[in-house]
Amino acid sequence: MKSSLLRLCSLAVFLGAAALGCKPKNTSDAISGDAASKVYVAPGKYDEFYNFVSGGFNGQMSVYGLPSGRLLKIVPIFSVFPENGYGYSEETKPMLNTSHGFVPWDDQHHLELSQTEGKIDGRWIFANANNTPRIARVDLTTFKTAEILELPNSAGNHSSPFITENTEYVVAGTRFAVPMDDQNGDVPINTLRKNFKSSISFISVNKDSGTMSLAFQLRLPPIDFDLSHSGKGPSHDWFFFSTYNTEQANTLLEVNASQRDKDFILAVNWKKLEAYVKSGKGRTESAKYAHNIYNEQTHSATSTIENKVLAIDAQDLKDICYYIPCPKSPHGCDVDPTGEYIVGSGKLAALIPVFSFTKIQKAIAAKDFIGTYEGIPVIKYESALYGEVQKPGLGPLHTEFDGRGNAITTMFVSSEIVKWNIKDLKVIDRKPTYYSPGHLSIPGGDTRSPNGKYVIVYNKITKDRYLPTGPELAQAAQLFDITGDKMKLLLDFPTVGEPHYAQAVEASLIKDKSVKFFKLEDNKHPYATLGEKNAKVVRNGKRVDIYITEIRSHFTPDNIEGIKMGDQVYWHMTNLEQDWDVPHGFAIKSAANTAELLVMPGETQTLYWTPEKPGIYPFYCTDFCSALHQEMQGYVRVSPENSNTPLSFSTGTNLPDSANTPQYLKENLN
Ligand code: RUQ
Ligand code: CUA
């Protein structure tokens, strides 16, 4: 206990001193003279890259253009989004359904673009939710969340979503060890070592449709997975995971999970594992998890609860899993473009170990193990090690590659990025960042073919960088030119949410495939109204379906009477426009928790409404769609439950009662 406390104290002193001591002094010095022209994208011109940035605690993904740093879009994934009604409309609510019910907010850390032969193919981007473990697939033709798959037997889904080179699998490692879902979880917390397990989920991805399915889960000893990356080229069949808490502590991990000098990188031969599963080696366990799919034809999501998972134990398979000791609580686990070098970044280490895939294979063949950890062989550190980067900086977290034989690593504690050569492990350059960088991203920087033009760094702390905005400050991204030996800071801009991992890709791979509007003739929504003449209001007992259309600049119908108290009203809003960039909105007064919609051209979205008292309720369009946008409005009348107001609806025919015409209008004064 005493030694634990001592360690904690010395660690705190070390981290504190480093954070103070290394804060760069003169921040303006760091900017090179021609920086502005390098990031200037003239009005009307496109950026060269899309930058997809995780939102952290906002649960969304944001999309920026690079090099300008212009925010292009926020794509809602795991949290409701009032900007476009995601999670509010009847069609999108099922996307946020889980085995625990509707979850409106999650924590999104990592993004991974789909790949073909180790190169980004621009089709989909995968995202993880940590808190209620899920993996999502975003379609890059619509920039919409197309699918969300919940993961059973997992908690704090951090080590995900990392993919194999042909997007065969999306892989997700659990952060927390937990009792398995089909076991009694009512056990003392300090029986972790006996009653808890860790799992890695393998999610298969359909080559054509992208549809995901939980193929199998690998069960492992109860240690925490942090990050991962798949092998490439020669190491294609392998997956690598960083772990921490090999101490198997269940309390005060800050101290108790920093006891051992080394934790592990776990190497998994997923190809062999897949073969074992195909030969029937798994067992079926009961589990409960949601699988949500958005259908672009019906413009609607469905949520299905699955109830089985195939599980397979690492300890039973002697040639699948190997632990490699890695110093000081490794965080990032990054594989270079050749697939030969695996970089483990120990958060508390004063060096960066680089492992060699060839040496790992030799060590496995020669059984060069120092022992086993709960039945899994542990390779001797020196036998797996290619070499160590000495004195790289303090607090290495993440590494990306420039495709020219160099790696760039973020140093959280010493607030810098450090460029080093993979072959000779020599530091080439270091540049301060403002402050405490987490992830970094080079376009294609974790694939076989990076585009080494820029690195963009995501900082955790901004302090004095921008105008103060109260206690909550934006995080910052910083863009560096990395084409020369020396890295040059070009731009720094605030971001939304808290970025963790990000990906970037040449815009040319995505921009021309972008959907401009949904074709009305393809709209298979069961409540679509494909022309104004089809607009109607249909009563079925207490349920009222309003088939309503929007086109510049009116609703059909825009006068509705005969709605009664106790009715369950569904406003099915179809946007009839067939042109790019003409959404219409919908807002109705006092519509409880779903007050608004935003509907894209050709799309149908539904707002559920239960009137709260008899009266007149105005509704209007919320998106400035034309010069007469402000005129895009209407009324609905709600009568008592027992009234006999007939159901009626119209646009343009329910003219004002002439008995009440004001004199001014009668005289037609202008
Ligand atoms: S993490 S700042 Cu959630 Cu990827 Cu390293
Ligand atoms: Cu439609 Cu404004």
Q: What is the pLDDT of residues 418-450, one digit of tens each?
A: 999 999 999 999 999 999 999 999 999 999 999
Q: Which amino acid, one-letter code, is at 227?
A: L
Q: Give the Å distance between the CA of 450 and the centre of ligand 1.
A: 21
What pLDDT does residue 593 have?
63
- Ligand showing the shortest atom-to-Cα distance for residue 157: 1
What pLDDT does residue 595 have?
78
Q: Which residue's CA is the closest to the ligand 1 atom numbered 3? A: 109
262 lines ligand 1 (CB under 6 A): no
pLDDT in tens, 589-621: 876 667 799 999 999 999 999 999 999 999 999
Q: Give the Å distance between the CA of 318 and the centre of ligand 2.
A: 64
CA distance 507 to 72: 12
110 lines ligand 1 (CB under 6 A): yes
- Ligand showing the shortest atom-to-Cα distance for residue 598: 2
How many other C-beta atoms are found inside a 10 Å radius of the C-beta of residue 660? 6
- Ligand showing the shortest atom-to-Cα distance for residue 475: 1
CA distance 86 to 75: 9
Q: Give the Å distance between the CA of 640 and the centre of ligand 1.
A: 56
197 lines ligand 1 (CB under 6 A): no
Q: Give the Å distance between the CA of 553 and the centre of ligand 2.
A: 6
Q: Give the Å distance between the CA of 42 and the centre of ligand 2.
A: 30
What pLDDT does residue 30 have?
61
Across the chain, mean pLDDT equals 94
How many other C-beta atoms are found inside a 10 Å radius of the C-beta of residue 72? 14
- Ligand showing the shortest atom-to-Cα distance for residue 410: 1
Q: Which residues line ligand 2 (CB under 6 A)?
A: 550, 553, 584, 621, 623-625, 629, 632
What pLDDT does residue 33 have?
77
Is the pLDDT assigned to residue 8 strictly greater than 70?
no
Q: Give the Å distance between the CA of 501 and the centre of ligand 1.
A: 6
Is the pLDDT assigned to residue 7 strictly greater than 90?
no
Burial of 314 (0-12, 13-18, 19+ CB in 10 A): buried
Q: Give the Å distance between the CA of 172 and the centre of ligand 1.
A: 14
Is the pLDDT assigned to residue 317 strictly greater than 50?
yes
The residue to which tokens 């605030």 are assigned? 494
The model's confidence at residue 13, banded by pLDDT at 50, 70 and 90, is very low
Q: Which residue's CA is the closest to the ligand 1 atom numbered 2? A: 438
439 lines ligand 1 (CB under 6 A): yes
pLDDT in tens, 522-554: 999 999 999 999 999 999 999 999 999 999 999
Burial of 607 (0-12, 13-18, 19+ CB in 10 A): buried
Ligand 1, closest atom to CA 397?
A: 5
Share of the chain above pLDDT 70, in %: 95
500 lines ligand 1 (CB under 6 A): yes
DSSP secondary structure string, 22-56?
TS-S-GGGGB-TTHHHHH---TTPPPSEEEEEE-B
CA distance 584 to 577: 9
Ligand 1, closest atom to CA 227?
A: 4
Token readout for 234 is 């020669």
Ligand 2, closest atom to CA 552?
A: 1
Burial of 529 (0-12, 13-18, 19+ CB in 10 A): buried
Q: What is the mean pLDDT of residues 572-576?
A: 98
Kindly report whether the peptide bond that precedes residue 327 is cis, defined as omega within 30 degrees of 0: no
What pLDDT does residue 26 have?
52
- Ligand showing the shortest atom-to-Cα distance for residue 634: 2
Is the pLDDT assigned to residue 87 strictly greater than 50?
yes
CA distance 455 to 408: 8
pLDDT in tens, 368-409: 999 999 999 999 999 999 999 999 999 999 999 999 999 999
Share of the chain above pLDDT 90, in %: 91
Phi, psi of 16 (to 5 degrees): -60, -50
Terminal-to-terminal C-alpha distance of the chain: 89
Q: Give the list of residues 6+ apart from residue 468 with CB closer than 8 angstroms, or none.
A: none
Q: Which residue's CA is the closest to the ligand 2 atom numbered 1? A: 584
CA distance 288 to 153: 9
pLDDT in tens, 627-636: 999 999 999 9
Q: What angle do CA 86, 91, 97 make, to 5 degrees?
A: 75
Q: Give the Å distance between the CA of 631 and the centre of ligand 2.
A: 8
Q: Give the Å distance between the CA of 436 and the centre of ligand 1.
A: 12
pLDDT in tens, 32-65: 778 999 999 999 999 999 999 999 999 999 999 9
Is the pLDDT assigned to residue 496 strictly greater than 60?
yes
pLDDT in tens, 465-481: 999 999 999 999 999 99
134 lines ligand 1 (CB under 6 A): no
Q: What is the mean pLDDT of residues 574-586?
A: 98
CA distance 28 to 592: 50
